Amino acid sequence: AQKVTQAQTEISVVEKEDVTLDCVYETRDTTYYLFWYKQPPSGELVFLIRRNSFDEQNEISGRYSWNFQKSTSSFNFTITASQVVDSAVYFCALSEANNYGQNFVFGPGTRLSVLP
């Protein structure tokens, strides 16, 4: 069965602090895909990153970086030098290749508040 856990319900940081959002997943498939989405107050889900299960290379994109570790089934997301505009709910999601429709299973989300 697929499951995504985001243990941090809410995080508050002061602007310019670094913050890491945790994501732990469960799957029986050997081929799967992991995603992070941002949901600002406007409500629309914004795609941030996609990772497949065969690519454990960490990725950096500007202030964002991702740490994928299959050994611990984790796909953590770090924002460096946070800004007020980063305030949003962040969702981690899993999609299994052998799942016919490849629908997403989302975690419950982590609400990030960046205070000025």
Partner 1 sequence: DTGVSQNPRHKITKRGQNVTFRCDPISEHNRLYWYRQTLGQGPEFLTYFQNEAQLEKSRLLSDRFSAERPKGSFSTLEIQRTEQGDSAMYLCASSPRLAGDNEQFFGPGTRLTVL
Q: Is 93 in the site for partner 1 (CB under 8 A)?
A: yes
Between 41 and 80, how does the x/- string for binding to partner 1 read (CB under 8 A)? -xxxx-x--x-x----------------------------
Q: Is 35 in the site for partner 1 (CB under 8 A)?
A: yes
- Least gap, CB of 116 to partner 1 (angstroms): 25
Question: CA 108 to CA 63: how far, in whole Å?
Answer: 24
CA distances from 24 to 29, 34, 87, 111 (A): 15, 10, 22, 16
Q: Is 23 in the site for partner 1 (CB under 8 A)?
A: no
Q: Is 100 in the site for partner 1 (CB under 8 A)?
A: yes
- Least gap, CB of 41 to partner 1 (angstroms): 12
**Exposure string over 53-64, b if 16+ CB within 10 A, otherwise e:** beeeeeeeeeeb
Q: What are the φ and ψ backbone dihedral angles of 71, each rounded to 5 degrees? A: -60, -30
User: At which residue do the structure tokens 């994928």 appear?
Assistant: 68
Q: Which residue lies nearer to partner 1 by CB, 13 or 49?
A: 49
Question: CA 78 to CA 110: how far, in whole Å?
Answer: 13
Footprint on this chain of partner 1 (rule: CB under 8 A)? 4, 33, 35, 37, 42-45, 47, 50, 52, 91, 93, 95, 97, 100-109
